[in-house]
Structure 1
Amino acid sequence: MTTASNNSKRQCLVMGNWKMHGTLADNAKLLAALRPYASKNAAMAVCVPFPYLAQAQDALKGSSVTWGAQDISVHSHGAYTGEVSGAMLKDFGCRWTLVGHSERRSMHAESDQLVADKARAALAVGLTPVVCVGESLAERDAGQAVAVIQRQLAPVLALGADSVNQLVVAYEPVWAIGTGRTATPEQAQEVHAAIRAALSAIGAGNIQILYGGSVKAANAASLFSMPDIDGALVGGAALIADEFLSIAACGDQA
C-alpha cells in the first residue's frame, strides 16, 4: 500500500451535495440548523441547486459554513442556454463547485477532459473545484478501480501543480452512491492512497481527498480515521440536519 502523508496537516472537510432536492421552506429549516456550526478541526460546506444559491448566501453569510454549486460551465459567457458560469456563481458568494460528479459523467456524458476544463474554469474565477472520481461495480470487480481513477485524473493533473494544489478531489465509488453500500475504510483508504501517490508525483500530495458514497454518522468516524481520508462528500445524509452535523462532529474528532 502507498505510504500516506500526515493527515494532521489537512483540515477535515465535510461537504453536503443536495443534488436535486430542496424547497424554500425545507431549505430554510436546514440552513438555520447548520448556521451555528463552528469547529477548528472540521470545515462544513453545502453544494445546493442553482435556484437556491441566493437563499444559501443569505442564510449562511457570516457563519463558518460555506456554500457552492453542483456544476459549472466551461464558458465564461455567451449563447449557452441552460449553462451557469463561474462568474455567476461568484455573484452568489460561492466558494466551491463540484465537477465531474458520477451522475454528470454517466447521465450527461461528461468526458475526463471536460471535467478538467470545468476545473480550470472554476479556478480562473477563484472558485475551488471539487473533482469527483470513482469506478463502477463492474470496473471494481474487474480489478480496474485504480486504473479508471488514474485515467479520470490524468487531464486534471495535466493542469499542473499550481492549479492542482488549489482543488479538492472526491473519491466516490459509483457502486456505493445512494445504494446503502459503503466501501470499507480499508477499501477506501487503498484508493485514497493511490490518489495521493498520483498527486504527490506532481507536487500536490497534501490537498484534501474526500470520500463519497453512502456516508452516515454511523460510519463517518471509521472512514475519517484513515490517514488519507480528509473528509466526506455527503449525499442524502446532508439533507438531515442532525445526521449531517453528527458527521461533521466525527470530522472534528478525527
Structure 2
Amino acid sequence: MSESIMKEILLSQEELNVMRHAYEKEYIELSRRVEHLKSVLGKLGSDLPLTTEPVSIAAPAPAKVAKATKKRGRKKKRGPKSVWGDFIVNRLKSVDRPMSYEEMLKDALVLKNVPEDRVKNAKASILNSAFRLRTIHNKIDTVGEEGKKMKYMVLKRWLNDEGKLQEPYSSRFEQILATTVEKEEEVKPKRGPGRPRKNPEEAPKAKRGPGRPRKNAAPKAATKSTAKKRGPGRPRKNSK
C-alpha cells in the first residue's frame, strides 16, 4: 500500500468501543462457523490439513487515536486598539476633503464629548494615531502649501503615483487654502476696551496730579500788590 493511500483515521473513544464490540461479535460467529466446517469436513474424510486444536487469533491492536492538535505559534503581543485611528479615517471619508490637524482635533473633542480633564491626553492620542496611520499603516498622508508649515490630512487613495492630490480633491484643497487666506485678511488688530478718542490724531497730554509741585517753579518776586496793606483809618507814617 503506497504512502499516498495510507491515511491516519481520527476516531473518538466512543467510536472505538462500538467498532471493537462489532469485530468481537464477528470474530465469535466466524470461530463457531470454522469449528462447524472442520467437524463436517472431518466426517466427510477431507484431505485438507484440518487441526482439532483451536486456532489462536491475535486480537487486533487498538487503533491509534490521533488527536488533532493545532500548531502552537508565538502569539503576537498586541496592545489596546486605539479608537482614534478609526475616527480619523472615518472622518476623512465623511467630509471627503483634506482636513487640518487643528480641525480634526476640534471635531474629535466635540463629537466624542471628551471631558475637560481629558482633553490634553485625548489630543496626544489623536496625534499619535495620525502618526501611526501615516508611517506604519500607510492609510493617510499629509499635504501642505509651499512655504507654510500647516499640514492637512488626506486619505492615501486620494493621491496619485507622484504623491499629489487627484481631482476633485486638488480643487477642494485649493478652495480651502483660498478661504484660509481670506479669513487672515479679514482679521484686523482691534483697540482694547475703553472710551474712543475724539481726535485720534491728537496725542494725549499728560496730566499733572493733584497737589504735585511744579518742576523748576521760580519763586515769585514780591510786588506792591503782594505787600502788606495798611488797615483802614490808620495814619501813614511820614506822609507829607
TM-score (norm 2): 0.20
- Structure number with the bigger relative contact order (C-alpha 8 A, sep ≥ 6) is 1
The structure richer in strand per residue is 1
The structure richer in helix per residue is 1
